[in-house]
Structure 1
Amino acid sequence: MSTLNFKDIAKIFEEIELRLISSLKRNLKRHKAEEQRYGFEWSAWQAEKLKNMENFRRENLDIMNEYVDVIDDQTRQLMTEQFQEGQQQAQRSVQELSDEPITPIPDKHFFGVNEKKMAKLMEDVTTLEKTAETAAMRMTDDIYRQTLNRVQLAMGTGSMTLNEAIDLATKDFLDKGINCIVYADGKRVNIADYVRMALRTTSTRAALQGAAKRFAELGYDTVLVSQYGGCSKTCEPWQGQVYIDDVFTVWEGEKDEFQGKSNYCGEWFWLLSYAVKNGLFHPNCRHTMTQYIHGRTQIPEPIPAEKIKEQRELEQKQRAMERKIRKFKRFAAGTCDPDTAKEYRRKLRQAQQELKAFVEEHNEVLHRDYDKEKYYGSGVDKNVKSDIIKNNKCEITPDKINKFFLKPNAKHSEEFFSVGYKTTDFELLDKDLKACFDYSKAVDKVVSDSGVERFSIFAELGVNEKKRFRTVWQKDTPESIPRIITAHREDER
């Protein structure tokens, strides 16, 4: 399996958010079995939902446990690969500028690299993700309890159906999503948006750290920061400039408060630390840096300020339209009343059409970022695929294959190894399982009182010789995509 990028990992958190919202709806909504058991007696329904609290927690924990390992593993791989890619890009940029063989200057004549920065960066981002996961679980738990209390007040008016009361009680929650991250100033941030920002920032810094390490090894202490249209006001004054890198390396040289003297060319340049202190490389910043070799590197012409402002405003409007789409998807997934949910799906389609038209109108500077619209459930864009859900027919998480089916000593792994699969055959087994999925061939269907459906599909699997396997799938709601639960051999051995 190839390493996921920061957008892919952020999409996992979007998927978690939508599945937790669907779980809330599923556990609050009255099902036919409950109607038969309690009729429309409110007190009995409320008592049953309070008793169901533990089941709700377990279901959400099961949802989260499907992702935590793959999130941690993929984040660590991403940081490592970004660090290595930064080193490789640094090597290439220096080679392109130099006609002579590159001879690194010994550390004692130059400066060392603080390797601890990279290790701390990796630990910080994985700890951040674990904090977000825990906060999301705690928030959905709180929302469940709060919703029961709010529904009780709404039902007391006698003018609402149960579905309408639930939708009224969850309206604020669905409007903002799982905004369980709280900044020091009290501002709340959606979990997926926060993780996307954090991963973009840390993966960029990992690449910068790798580049800086290689620049230092090659004997250069000056870097050129990139420039782009749409740059934020915060770092616009600092883009396209040359700096002494005293941020991503441990630099020792002559300096004053704002500038430093290059150890290899003797010229004075701005200190990178001064630019960073004043806003460069802020969270979500898209700037990178390349090697600057005095006398060889050509500094590009600055982008006109009015052009930067125009593109920045267009991008801000696009981001607002994308947030609106994600909001409608939350309402479509979490609304109990069928007619209201249908109306949200209509609004969703309209918002998507408006975004498409807006991007096409400004296609010289904008492109449509499907990653920021994605919703894993009813209404999946069939043209957009990811490492988590490859198509709209079924869902197989990488963790399910790597941690269960093809992990040595796992419950059924020997059954897969016996037909020729190896521990490294993630892509092959993923392809084979999806090829065998055909809902029309589902057997042994069971639907729980809460609406969760499980079923089996028999498949012929194997590398050299095919054997009969039972694959077990689950649909959390009637509209959701079936996801694989387990698989094992059922032939004569």
Structure 2
Amino acid sequence: MSDYDIGKAFEEIENELIDSMMRNFSRHRAEETKEGYNWAQWQAEQLKALEEYRKTNAKKFGKQFKSINSKVEEMIHTARADGNAEQELKILEAIKNGFTPNMPTGASTGEFFKVNDRKLNALVKSTTDDLKRAETAVLRMSNDKYRKAIFNAQVYANTGAGTYEKVVDMACKDMLNAGLNCVEYKNGARHTLSDYADMAIKTANKRAYLRGEGEERAKYGLSLVVVNSRQGGCPDCAKYIGKVFIDDVYSNGKKSDGDYPLLSTAIAEGLFHPRCKDSTSTHYPELDDLSGPLTDDELAELDRQRGLEVQQQHAEKQAERFDRRAKYSLDEDNKKFAKARADEWHDRADKLAEKVKNAEDISPKAVAKSQKGDILKEDSEEPITPITDNAINRVWKVNVDGYTDEQCIEIQKQHKDLLKYAKEHNEGNEVAFVFKSDLSEMTTEKPIKGTDKEINFGSALHGKDLFVMHNHPRNSSVSFDDLVEFIGSESIKTISVVKNNGGVEVLIKKNSYDKLDLLTNLDRLRRKNVKSKNKKQSDAEFRKVVRKFISKYEEEEILKWIK
């Protein structure tokens, strides 16, 4: 049984508890009299049903809980064995590649393995004990929710809330919205048994796996580990990625093992928190070429991915909430309303799940390039065109959507000033002005200078909705690298190219702009066009996709970007 199976088993138990409660309400309808429903008699019948409900659940689910708990110990020991085996294979591969192990001996090593056994047993006991407390809590809460609904129903009925079914639905609404959220964390957040079990089991399995890996390292005298660099990890732990630690928690490491921080310090500060996606691998100083810590762009990408994951989780929770109301409500109108809302949230969750997957897995040139970041290049090999006064005077006004006529005149003025600055201060090579979106001020103290082929912004592209202006010394159109930076940067709203001969092109992201949607579609088209012999059709499809998200003003077609 996997951690997924255990979470699913607890979810089915929760659903069965709610289902049984709502069936009782459906069966024990209040009896109608001349004065209306006899709610006192109804309450008495429901309280009898509650007592039977309590006894039946304690007997039935007690056995199920016992069976599930017995699987937990087996699962944790299996995770430890997996860590042992997989780490041994990696170490043997390193030996094959030139690593020479220094096998430790002595009483301290033997004591380490005994302590490790005790720690693993303590982990098993802690996990199962916590689950038992949560299991008791979910049964107690189901009883309390049942009792509360019995008394609330009469209160709502006295207000003239409507039919019997509507009254019961009102009395049970809070429970159906939240589920049996019987576990309260230290921060006050409440979670269902299935959600808590999922977190607890995954955390315990991860720690057991790390312990198994550590034991195998200790056998070979290894204690140095590096926190792996990966996509889709935890932004909270990003500061540890690429760093080497002495593993004094799982691998019997000592301070004397090197000039590195202790892993226990990082764990105390939050590394390997519940549901953490990070992991470590063995560090071999003589073999490894470390990638180093994440760049600012990579950190920003992780933070963006987390934002998508949070949105996805929220959508999934809302879908579950309305699913419960659609399934267990008694009133047909309430069922239809909840079903419609559930479908909406499921659709939203599916779309966000696709975005999360793409965020972790997209690999077109645009993404790779944008993560290296902040570089614009001209892709033409033509000779540099000297900037003349006539070219500066020839710069025209571009009417860009979203800008007033006065602002478009200001854009024209700045384009002229840019060419003039490039002529006088950078020999006609690339220069960039970076403005706030409303053109109220530049975000840098002075223009940014580049070479005849590229310009590197470094840390200048910080902010939101920036307008980036730059020139192309060879009069080329918007380049692929311009497009890559434009798409990849969350900061740039508008980008313009002023050619040394006075021509101008402007790109602006539409309100419909969605980076992941655009990149996903471009990547799909690239793969499709590799096999396509109909270039005209391929170009038309490419242009259609880009123009869904980006508006282009003046001169050459977007087709140049497909190169």
State the match for 2:124 in structure 1: 122
For 1:310 and 1:126, the matched residues in 2 are separated by 36
Of 255, 261, 271 in structure 2, the residue corresponding to residue 280 of structure 1 is: 271
Q: CA deviation at 1:210?
A: 0.7
For 1:148 and 1:8, the matched residues in 2 are separated by 34
Q: CA deviation at 1:108?
A: 4.3
For 1:349 and 1:81, the matched residues in 2 are separated by 39
Q: CA deviation at 1:311?
A: 1.3
SS in 2 for 1:268: coil
State the match for 1:151 in structure 2: 153
For 1:25 and 1:287, the matched residues in 2 are separated by 42
State the match for 2:502 in structure 1: none
For 2:210 and 2:33, the matched residues in 1 are separated by 62
State the match for 1:175 in structure 2: 177
Figure out how many residues of one structure are paired with residues of the other and give that number.
Answer: 352
For 2:45 and 2:59, the matched residues in 1 are separated by 21
Of 326, 343, 348 in structure 1, the residue corresponding to residue 320 of structure 2 is: 326
Cα 1:122/1:314, change in 2 over 3 Å: same
For 2:108 and 2:38, the matched residues in 1 are separated by 82
Alignment of 1:256-405 (within 5 A): 260-262=255-257, 267-303=258-294, 304-361=298-355, 363-365=357-359
For 1:14 and 1:196, the matched residues in 2 are separated by 10
For 1:298 and 1:109, the matched residues in 2 are separated by 32
Bigger shift: residues 137-146 or 46-55: 46-55
Q: What do the CA deviations read for 1:354-396 (whole angstroms, capped 9, x no partner)?
A: 22233335542369xxxxxxxxxxxxxxxxxxxxxxxxxxxxx
State the match for 2:104 in structure 1: 105
State the match for 1:67 in structure 2: 64
Cα 1:347/1:59, change in 2 over 3 Å: farther
For 1:10 and 1:366, the matched residues in 2 are separated by 25
The AA in structure 2 aligned to 1:149 is F
Q: What do the CA deviations read for 1:14-44 (whole angstroms, capped 9, x no partner)?
A: 1111111111111222457x75999942222
For 2:322 and 2:161, the matched residues in 1 are separated by 26
State the match for 2:18 in structure 1: 21
State the match for 2:206 in structure 1: 204
Are the equivalent residues in 1 in contact too, given 2:28–2:42 (CA < 8 A)? Answer: no
Q: CA deviation at 1:338?
A: 2.2
Are the equivalent residues in 2 in contact too, given 1:229–1:311 (CA < 8 A)? Answer: no
The structure whose residues are more often helix, as a share, is 2
Bigger shift: residues 218-227 or 357-366: 357-366
Q: Which has the higher contact order (CA 8 A, sep 6+)?
A: 1
Q: CA deviation at 1:112?
A: 2.1
Unaligned runs of 5+ in 1: 254-259, 368-493
For 2:33 and 2:290, the matched residues in 1 are separated by 76
State the match for 2:85 in structure 1: 88
Are the equivalent residues in 1 in contact too, given 2:231–2:360 (CA < 8 A)? Answer: no
For 1:316 and 1:132, the matched residues in 2 are separated by 25
Please report the TM-score for the alignment, with normalisation by the length of structure 1: 0.66
Q: What do the CA deviations read for 1:26-65 (whole angstroms, capped 9, x no partner)?
A: 1222457x75999942222111111112211133235413
Cα 1:37/1:97, change in 2 over 3 Å: farther
SS in 1 for 2:358: coil
The AA in structure 2 aligned to 1:293 is Y
Q: What do the CA deviations read for 1:190-237 (whole angstroms, capped 9, x no partner)?
A: 222111111111110010011111110111111122233343343121
For 2:175 and 2:197, the matched residues in 1 are separated by 19
For 2:323 and 2:264, the matched residues in 1 are separated by 42
For 2:309 and 2:44, the matched residues in 1 are separated by 49
The AA in structure 1 aligned to 2:150 is L
State the match for 1:47 in structure 2: 44
Cα 1:68/1:250, change in 2 over 3 Å: same
Please report the TM-score for the alignment, with normalisation by the length of structure 2: 0.59
Are the equivalent residues in 2 in contact too, given 1:21–1:333 (CA < 8 A)? Answer: no
